[in-house]
Amino acid sequence: MKATQLNAKSVSAKLLERLSEHDEVVIVMHDNPDPDAIATGWGLKVLVDETIGLPTRVIGGGAIVRAENRHMVNLLDPPIELVDDFDFDDRAAAILVDCSIGASNHVLTRQRIQPFAIIDHHIADVRNTKAPFVDIRVEVAASASIIASYLREQHIPPGAKLATAMLYAIRTETCAYESHYSALDRMILPWLMEYAEPELLAEIHNAPLQRSYYGDLLLALQNTFLYDDVALCFLPRADGVEIVGEIADLLVRCESVGRVMCGAVIGNDLLVSARTQFPKDNAADMIQATLKGLGGSGGHAHRAGGKIPNVGESASAVEKVSNLLRDRWLDVCGVERKRGTRLIAKREIVQNLDL
């Protein structure tokens, strides 16, 4: 263990002092980790490495799904591991990052392990948590901002690649009307810019896309229906997980559209993303009510997502679940059930097939 002088008055010092009682640290990201989970886990590992020096691993389940996220990982090479399972030692401290309390999409839940610490920015009810250390700041744009503040408190430079990852994480968490920046974010952004590489950021933003992505995009737009100011899009099948959130981000920018839900069957699961631009709405609560009794969900005031596992492979089973979600989402949005209007008129689709 390193003998390092800590900034004793800081939040990060309290975490590090508690961690020093353990033999190792396991940082757990949510499944299919996004840039915020990756940057947060990476930054926390650097913090531990440079201070108390405990053996530290950053793990997550699933895969890196969006093209930009895969490109970010290829370019920046963060020290993360994607695992199907993990053996936790009793002397290891498990830290859950960028994942709300009660979420089921991480390895700790599957192994029924209580985290030692939780560091996150999602909306959550912390009353029942038993973790010794909890730092949840829902007003902050990204979990990466919290960890960046820890590094800054301990006077640890993030380095070019980590700073780039953190900046990209904050950027991805502030889109689709989730565009608030707290005082912490505003302090951290210029600090990270001192170290980040603009060229790498630009390259990540312009990641190459697979041809199947454009097929999913076309089908999604053809299957989008409008109900007053609500847009709904359901795909019976999609090749890429990323299309669900990206279509939701795209549709909420459409004139006269204020709320969006997009879903697609990936493998045997139905993935759902929701967006709202209204200040009084809470997308996390809205998607939770829509998926009640069907699957899990989580998110923010204006962006949220969820999953219904094992919906079945038959077209009738998928249609039944999709219709139920449509009715529930319209109820949550206060829109009377009626026949939807296609975003793109069917005659326009048919007339242009042979062009």
Place of tokens 């608030």: 180
Q: Which of 46, 322, 274 is nearest to 157 (CA)?
A: 46
The pair of three-digit structure tokens given for residue 271, joined into one six-digit string: 């993935």
Residues with Cβ within 8 Å of residue 116, at least 6 apart in sequence: 18, 19, 22, 93, 94, 95, 131, 132, 133
Are β-strands 303-308 and 296-299 bridged in parallel, bridged antiparallel, or unpaired? antiparallel
Q: pLDDT by residue (tens digit) across 298-321?
A: 778 888 888 898 887 788 888 899
Q: Which of residues 201 and 305 earns the better pLDDT score?
A: 201
What is the pLDDT confidence band of residue 353, given thresholds at 50, 70 and 90? low
Q: pLDDT by residue (tens digit) across 25-77?
A: 999 998 889 999 999 999 999 999 999 999 999 999 888 888 899 999 999 99
Helix axes 183-193, 143-153, angle to 10 degrees: 70
Distance CA 149, CA 47 (A): 11
* Furthest-apart CA atoms within the chain: distance in Å: 72
What is the pLDDT confidence band of residue 1, given thresholds at 50, 70 and 90? very low
Distance CA 115, CA 245 (A): 28
- Average pLDDT in the 161-166 region? 98
Place of tokens 């492979």: 313
The pair of three-digit structure tokens given for residue 207, joined into one six-digit string: 């990641």
Q: Which of 116, 168, 117, 169 is nearest to 142 (CA)?
A: 169
What is the pLDDT confidence band of residue 3, given thresholds at 50, 70 and 90? very low
Residues with Cβ within 8 Å of residue 191, at least 6 apart in sequence: 148, 152
Interior angle at CA 93, CA 90 and CA 98, nearest 5? 135
State residue 327's pLDDT score: 94
Q: Which of 135, 120, 121, 1 is nearest to 56 (CA)?
A: 1
The chain-wide mean pLDDT, for the chain, equals 89
User: In order of start, what are the domains of the chain with their CATH numbers?
Assistant: 11-205 (3.90.1640.10), 212-337 (3.10.310.40)
State residue 78's pLDDT score: 98
